[in-house]
Amino acid sequence: MSRRLSVPPDFHTFPFVFKACAQLRVLALSRSVHSLAFKFGYVSHLFVLNSLIRVYSIHGRIDDAYQVFGESSDRDVVSYNAMVDGFVKTGQMACAREMFDQMPVRDAVSWGTMVAGYTQANMCSEAIELFNQILALELRPDNISLVSVLSACAQMGELEQGKIVHKYIKRNGIRVDSFLATGLVDFYAKCGCIETARDIFESSPDRNVFTWNAMLVGLAMHGEGSVLLDYFSRMISSGIQPDGVSFLSVLMGCSHAGLVHQAWKLFNDMETIYGVKPELKHYGCMVDILGRAGLIEEAMELIKGMPYGGDVFVWGGLLGGCRTHGNLEVAKKAAQQVMKIKPEDGGVYSIMANIYAHTEQWDDLVKIRRSLSTNKRAKKITGFTCGGVLRNAAGDFIASFNGNLGRCTITVAELFAMSELRYTYREGNRLADFITTELNLPDEALQILEDDVKGVSLLRACVT
């Protein structure tokens, strides 16, 4: 518009145009505007420079961003922060740390970007160490740093370190907004302190969908199926629209509480009432629920009616149900699908071995174990549950800084280990008892199963 009206752009114009280019995600357009800024002599202007670094970083062109940064002698803390953020977003944490260490001046954004980056890169020890440096220097961390270090503590099970962070928040009178409340709820839930998580949730006046999801995930993790349904009802009553993570958490809770009817209703209501289209992970969890309840035929019908082909979690959920209830015929079909989709997955071999043992198909048992030993690609891993598809799916709340939206993901403990083990232990058997008291095995088959006592995968496969 300004060019058509013969009005020359100035250094105020280009940052807004670059922001629009970033939102459109069109690299060619950004390069074109870059050329215009160069033509009018504004590339070296600080506002334009910082916007240009940021837009190239958003495009994933970190080398171009670094070139622009390096060619300018007029840089400020915002310029450095934009580069650090760009390296973090492209997963180059070593480069981000090098740039961070070179900064003549650092602000809260600088520290927060690095702590969040380390956490998102699963470098949790580094995130905690850097946060402790912030405290040692008597700097005031922002909420991004606080939530990120809480997430790091949760991933590592560092309960005491997380409590130090919480005490810092209280001691300094930091307002616990929805963002911070979500981080605290997630941290305490993952570290086994579900009642503390509930207390924080209940005391938070500012809850959004992410805060509710953190609470739902925590309750699912601890096997609190009935309480979870109550919280979900409260979420709806409070006017919060549930999302895919909300439903995944509730289905998970229903699975371990054996609430098949409630799960079916919620699954059917997802799209018709709440406008949330079920994804593969929701189908996988529902299949797992039906399988656990012994409703193998219903699970098969659900898979047949899916709008898209099943993945390893869908077929794995069915296989897990067949394992529990000894349905050899359907188990073979499910196992074939899993092997086709993910041939390197050795867990399916262990599950089939268990099913063959239960049904006294000793020749097939020996064959499947030998197949695993000769398949160089396959690795023995844990079995399939709807908890597995929730890994890294929960929490998903937004950290906003410098006009950019950075996703800070709250991960769920491996396969929702706590609730999964609670479910397993309620079954009452251990693998050693199972081998010695319940099976009358030929020597070769017995040796195969005894060898697997040393591994986690068949332990869980045999006792659920």
**Distance between CA atoms of 244 and 186, rounded to whole angstroms?**
17
Q: For the chain, which residues make up each domain, given as ranges?
A: 1-105, 175-277, 279-398, 411-463
**Distance between CA atoms of 180 and 286, rounded to whole angstroms?**
32
Per-residue pLDDT at 11: 63
Per-residue pLDDT at 412: 31
Average pLDDT, the chain: 80
The pLDDT of residue 456 is above 60 = no
Greater confidence (437 vs 413) lies with 437
Residue in this structure with the two tokens 């609670």, named with its chain if needed? 422
Helix, coil or strand: residue 345: strand
**Distance between CA atoms of 198 and 190, rounded to whole angstroms?**
12
* Pick from 151, 106, 82, 125: nearest CA to 402: 82
**Distance between CA atoms of 49 and 56, rounded to whole angstroms?**
11
Q: Across-strand partners of 405? A: 400
- Tens digit of pLDDT for each residue in 152-162? 999 999 999 99
Q: Please give the angle made by the CA atoms of 131, 59 and 21, to the nearest 5 degrees.
A: 115
Residue in this structure with the two tokens 């302190």, named with its chain if needed? 193
Tokens of 347: 């867990």
Tokens of 411: 């991960």
- Tens digit of pLDDT for each residue in 276-321? 999 999 999 999 999 999 999 999 999 999 988 888 889 988 998 9
- Tens digit of pLDDT for each residue in 30-54? 788 878 777 777 777 778 888 888 8
| Residue ranges in 176-224 assigned as alpha helix (H) | 178-190, 194-203, 209-221
Q: Across-strand partners of 397? A: 408
Mean pLDDT on 390-410: 33
Greater confidence (426 vs 222) lies with 222
Per-residue pLDDT at 368: 81
Per-residue pLDDT at 130: 97
Are the C-beta atoms of 150 and 165 separated by less than 8 Å?
yes
Portion of the chain with pLDDT greater than 90, in percent: 49
Per-residue pLDDT at 215: 97
* Pick from 280, 285, 217: nearest CA to 255: 285
Beta-strand relationship, 404-408 and 397-401:
antiparallel
Longest Cα pair distance anywhere in the chain, in angstroms?
91
Per-residue pLDDT at 385: 47
Q: Rounded to two decimals, what is the model's pTM?
A: 0.75
Per-residue pLDDT at 51: 83
- Tens digit of pLDDT for each residue in 119-160? 999 999 999 999 999 999 999 999 999 999 999 999 999 999
DSSP codes joined into one string, 374-434: H-TT-B------TTGGGTTTS--EEEEETTEEEEE--PPPGGGHHHHHHHHHHT---HHHI
* Pick from 379, 305, 296: nearest CA to 342: 379
Residue 359's CB: how many other CB atoms inside 10 A? 14
Per-residue pLDDT at 7: 57
Candidates 1.10.760.10, 1.50.10.100, 1.25.40.10, 3.40.50.720; correct CATH number of 279-398? 1.25.40.10
Q: Across-strand partners of 399? A: 406
Q: Across-strand partners of 279? A: none
Residue 33, CA distances (Å) to 53, 64, 288, 381 in order:
13, 14, 52, 51
The pLDDT of residue 393 is above 70 = no
